Amino acid sequence: MRENKVMGIIFSDMHDSALGALTENRTTASVPFGGRYRLIDFTLSNMVNSDISDIGIITKSNYQSLMDHVGAGRPWDLARKRGGLAIIPPFASHGGLGIYRGRLEALAGALSYIRHNDAKYVMISDSDVIANVDLRDMVKQHIASNAQMTLLYKTITVGPDLKGEDLTLMTLDEETGDVKDIARYASAKGQQNLYLNVLLIEKTLLERMINDAMSHDQYSMVRHCIQPAVGRMTVKGYAFEGYATKIENMNSYFAAHMDLLKPEVRTELFPKDRPVFTKVRDQVSVRYGLSSKVGNSLIADGCIINGEVYNSIIFRGAKIGKDAVVRNCIIMQNTYVGDNAHLEYVISDKDVLIKDSRTLVGYETHPIYISKGDTI
């Protein structure tokens, strides 16, 4: 009944293997980020802030932590009577193997969910991009340009911005904005249009493509759906101009956190009128002791800071002991850093205990990762 309604589909685990230890017990979507968030918070909030309120999250395995995080969708106002948030588990509609080879195949498992929705368009997104995007503008362009597909991209300079490891890049017709080519490149250079794995498509077209793909045993979104459409359908690019970064591996995960320390990045990621929602934990304000010293750091609620913290991101409920020094670190939830400990270039996962006077020093390109629950 709502005209031009858009529904959302989010892949929660397309990049699990690339993130290594971070996704050992969780999906890409539920990787902690930025002091109090999980990666999926950005995609979910972008959709919700863009009036997309029926959202299905496709999962494969390891999704208990994801379910714990999103719950019924309340923080994103997706706990709706009609529509709202849906977790689409692996056994949903097909065989029961619970595995899929690509996004297109994963969508097949969500076909009945998609079909039952009364939306006209579907916004399909991965959950590994950190950006605050007003997707309404993308929808507007899609409708105005009579496109059959619109692909979100960002113009980047490979090298400084991204390492150019296996990126999906697009070539665009400068006049029409039509996508002329899209492909994966292992070693691109210079200015490039990076596909952000966000696709807007008419629902009926998507349903047809999924059915076609199932009949032909095809599974890849880019290879079997977008590439064949280029040239035959109206496939447009929508350029995102703001801050965006993909979490591709531990290094880009670390780099994205360091980006957060720049005020201009925070301004772009956390505008007042498009908040990034996340699960509420009812933590107390941060308590700074008499001997604390902090510089260029982000500190989330529930922390107790008695030591020194520089160039670091401290997640909710962490405790930094007296005379401890934490420098260039990502300290996740409930990590306890003992008195006199000394940490540099450390990524400590949740519930880590660093005992008094321990020293751990990594290097910018090789941060030390400490697994969830470990004691050092």
Partner 1 sequence: MLRKKEWIAMLLAGGQGSRLYALTQNLAKPAVPFGGKYRIIDFPLSNCINSGIDTVGVLTQYQPMVLNEYLGNGQPWDLDRNDGGVFVLPPYQKSSGSDWYTGTANAIYQNINFIERYDPSYVLILSGDHIYKMDYEKMLAYHKEKGADCTIAVLQVPLEEASRFGIMNAYPDGTIYEFEEKPPEPKSNLASMGIYIFTWEKMRKYLIADANDPNSQKDFGKNILPAMLNDNQKMVAYPFEGYWKDVGTIDSLWEANMDLLDPKVPLDLYDDSWKIYSRTPVMPPHYVSNEAEIQNSMITEGCTIDGKVDFSVLFYGVVVEEGAIVRDSIVMPGSVIKKGAVVEYSIIAENSVIGEGAKVGQRPEDAEDRDQWGIAVVGNNVKVGKGAVVPPKAMLDHDVQGVE
| Residues within the interface to partner 1 (CB under 8 A) | 1-3, 34-36, 49, 74-75, 77, 79-82, 118, 261, 263, 266, 269-270, 272-278, 280, 282-290, 292-302, 304, 309-310, 313-314
Judged by beta carbon, residue 67 or residue 286, the one nearer partner 1 is 286
Judged by beta carbon, residue 330 or residue 352, the one nearer partner 1 is 330
Q: Does residue 67 bind its own copies (CB under 8 A)? A: yes
Judged by beta carbon, residue 64 or residue 176, the one nearer its own copies is 64
124 - beta bridge partners?
Answer: 9, 199
The item of partner 1, its own copies, none sharing an interface with residue 91, based on CB under 5 to 8 Å by kind, is its own copies
Residue choice 23, 28, 53, 62 for contact with its own copies (CB under 8 A): 62
Q: Least separation, in Å, of the C-beta of 31 and partner 1? A: 17
Judged by beta carbon, residue 275 or residue 373, the one nearer partner 1 is 275
Residue choice 2, 77, 91, 140 for contact with its own copies (CB under 8 A): 91
Residue choice 20, 21, 51, 72 for contact with its own copies (CB under 8 A): 72
Concatenate the DSSP letters of all residues of 170-206 into one string: EEE-TTT-BEEEEEEESS--EEEEEEEEEEEEEHHHH
CA distances from 203 to 209, 226, 318, 334, 368 (A): 10, 15, 45, 43, 45
Q: Least separation, in Å, of the C-beta of 62 and its own copies? A: 7
Dihedral sign for Cα atoms in the order 218, 220, 222, 225: positive
- Collapsing DSSP states into helix, strand and coil, what is residue 227? helix
Return the range that interacts with its own copies (CB under 8 A); candidates 86-94, 119-127, 177-185, 307-315. Answer: 86-94
* Two tokens, residue 41: 């918070």
How far is C-alpha 150 from the geometric centre of its chain's CA atoms?
19
Residue choice 4, 51, 79, 267 for contact with its own copies (CB under 8 A): 79
* CB distance 301 to 284 below 8 Å: yes
Three-state SS string across 132-158, please?
CCCHHHHHHHHHHCCCCEEEEEEEEEE
Judged by beta carbon, residue 157 or residue 296, the one nearer partner 1 is 296
Q: How far apart are CA 98 and CA 30, in angstroms?
A: 19
Spatial CA neighbour of 240 closest among 46, 65, 109: 46
Q: Least separation, in Å, of the C-beta of 29 and its own copies? A: 15
Q: Least separation, in Å, of the C-beta of 282 and partner 1? A: 5
The item of its own copies, partner 1, none sharing an interface with residue 98, based on CB under 5 to 8 Å by kind, is its own copies
Residue choice 87, 111, 258, 376 for contact with its own copies (CB under 8 A): 87
CA distances from 174 to 94, 170, 178, 236 (A): 42, 12, 8, 11
**Residue 63 phi, psi (nearest 5):** -100, 10
**Residue 23 phi, psi (nearest 5):** -110, 20
End-to-end CA distance of the chain: 58
The item of partner 1, its own copies, none sharing an interface with residue 71, based on CB under 5 to 8 Å by kind, is its own copies
State the Cα torsion 201-206-209-215 to the nearest 10°.
160
Judged by beta carbon, residue 11 or residue 315, the one nearer partner 1 is 315
Q: Least separation, in Å, of the C-beta of 191 and partner 1? A: 30
Judged by beta carbon, residue 296 or residue 359, the one nearer partner 1 is 296
Q: Does residue 24 bind its own copies (CB under 8 A)? A: no
Q: Does residue 115 bind its own copies (CB under 8 A)? A: no
Q: Which residues bind its own copies (CB under 8 A)?
A: 61-64, 67, 71-72, 79, 87, 89, 91-93, 96, 98
